[in-house]
Amino acid sequence: MKQRDKDLIEQRMQKLMFKMRYWDKEFSTTHMQKSNPLSNLLMMDEMIVDIRSLPPDIQEYIRQKEGRKK
């Protein structure tokens, strides 16, 4: 493998590494996503709100928009 290819791979790995967060949806397993304590929270009018405290029709709308499941 050429040095240029190695450098490119290393750059891509560093980018990926810095994008990863503990609760990141893209990189988390299904188990981690389900056990995320923040998964039911959202920001609404500059306030943090638990989705479960909202009326059912609004909960469903939010889940559809964000691709969430119960």
Cα 21 from Cα 29, distance rounded (Å): 12
Residue 51 CA to chain centroid, in angstroms? 16
What value does the CA radius of gyration of the chain take, rounded to a whole number of Å?
18
What is the residue type of 30? T
Asked whether residue 69 carries a pLDDT value surpassing 60, the answer given is no
Residues 11-34: pLDDT tens digits?
A: 888 777 666 666 677 777 888 878
3-state DSSP assignment of residue 24: coil
3-state DSSP assignment of residue 48: strand
Confidence grade of residue 58 (pLDDT, cut at 50, 70, 90): very high
**Which tokens belong to 49?**
């709100």
